[in-house]
């Protein structure tokens, strides 16, 4: 089972949009996918279901006093879409930041070993470098880093890389899957400049696929729909389909 953490401590880079639509696109290809909402803002959850339906959440994997810490299937919403299950998020997940035990932070890693087998697990991480991201990276086999095509989004990626190196001492399976360019507009000089900087820094880790800037991306969650459902023929939808294929290929190569 491959576990892809979608993370960048910078907010507004398209992280949640990528987690949701990569998962939906993988599911559309016949992959059995579990999408985990680890962000206390729970935007991934509200993009797919009514949060009023949520009775258990990501946080409950870390609370050893309740059954879901032992049996994650109790809080997984099955078939929110065809081939796509959801482990919801909730504001209570913020409490994880107060955990000070590495054993406790490994709860997600332990929980995934108790779930039904999935082809891919995709985790939407919060925009921060704290306990939640650490717990997600402890459980992940791959890290996908969305980067918005502006200068400020380049800040802090080195800090994320440092976090990866420290986590790899515990989780040797963790590898950087790639850097995904989001809000891409090839007509702008800023895009060209950021593109060049990314390729100079990350070379072959920069994914071929880039996600174009489009209002469809902002509209779809308001209808609790993925881009595949809301705008099946949009350029961004096509890009996420291409990303899903590229992710499948890269995962196979990095685990061969």
Whether 68 shows a pLDDT value over 60: the answer reads no
Whether 70 shows a pLDDT value over 70: the answer reads no
Q: pTM for this one?
A: 0.94
Q: What is the CATH number of domain 2-254?
A: 3.40.50.300
Distance CA 167, CA 63 (A): 22
Token digits for 153? Answer: 């989004």
* Rounded alpha-carbon distances, angstroms, from residue 21 to 3, 59, 227: 16, 23, 6
Q: Where are the domains of the chain?
A: 2-254
What pLDDT does residue 87 have?
Answer: 96
Q: What is the pLDDT of residues 10-61, one digit of tens each?
A: 888 999 999 999 999 999 999 999 999 999 999 999 999 998 888 889 999 9
Quick one: how far is CA 167 from the chain centroid?
17
Distance CA 61, CA 58 (A): 6
Whether 176 shows a pLDDT value over 80: the answer reads yes
Distance CA 241, CA 5 (A): 18
Q: What is the pLDDT of residues 117-175, one digit of tens each?
A: 899 999 999 998 899 999 999 999 999 999 998 877 777 687 888 888 999 999 999 99
Residues sharing a CB contact under 8 Å with residue 43, sequence separation 6 or more, in sequence order: 16, 37, 89, 124, 221
What pLDDT does residue 111 have?
Answer: 92
Q: How many helices (H) and strands (E) does the chain have?
A: 10, 8
Q: What is the pLDDT of residues 214-248, one digit of tens each?
A: 888 889 998 999 999 999 999 999 999 999 999 99
Distance CA 22, CA 56 (A): 24
Q: Report the percent of the chain where pLDDT is more than 90.
A: 61
Token digits for 49? Answer: 């279901």
Q: What is the pLDDT of residues 122-132, one digit of tens each?
A: 999 999 889 99
Whether 181 shows a pLDDT value over 70: the answer reads yes
How many other CB atoms sit within 10 Å of the CB of residue 91? 13
């Amino acid at each position: 089972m491959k576990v892809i953490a979608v993370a960048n401590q910078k907010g507004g880079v398209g992280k949640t949009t990528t987690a949701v639509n990569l998962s939906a696109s993988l599911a559309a290809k016949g992959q059995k996918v579990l999408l985990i909402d680890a962000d206390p803002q729970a935007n991934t959850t509200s993009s797919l279901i009514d949060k009023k339906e949520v009775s258990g959440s990501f946080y409950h994997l870390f609370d050893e006093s309740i059954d879901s810490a032992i049996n994650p299937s109790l809080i997984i919403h099955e078939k929110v879409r065809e081939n796509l299950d959801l482990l919801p998020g909730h504001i209570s997940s913020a409490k994880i930041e107060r955990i000070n035990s590495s054993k406790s932070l490994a709860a997600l890693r332990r929980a995934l070993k108790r779930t039904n087998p999935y082809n891919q697990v995709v985790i939407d991480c919060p925009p921060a470098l704290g306990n939640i991201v650490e717990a997600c990276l402890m459980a992940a086999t791959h890290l996908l880093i969305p980067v918005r095509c502006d200068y400020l989004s380049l800040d802090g990626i080195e800090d994320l890389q440092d976090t990866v190196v420290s986590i790899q001492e515990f989780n040797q399976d963790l590898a950087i899957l790639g850097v995904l360019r989001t809000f891409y507009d090839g007509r702008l000089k800023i895009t060209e400049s950021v593109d060049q900087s990314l390729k100079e820094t990350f070379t072959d880790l920069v994914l071929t696929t880039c996600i174009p800037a489009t209002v469809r991306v902002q509209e779809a969650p308001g209808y609790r729909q993925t881009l595949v459902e809301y705008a099946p023929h949009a350029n961004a939808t096509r890009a996420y389909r291409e990303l899903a294929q590229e992710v499948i290929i890269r995962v196979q190569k990095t685990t061969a």
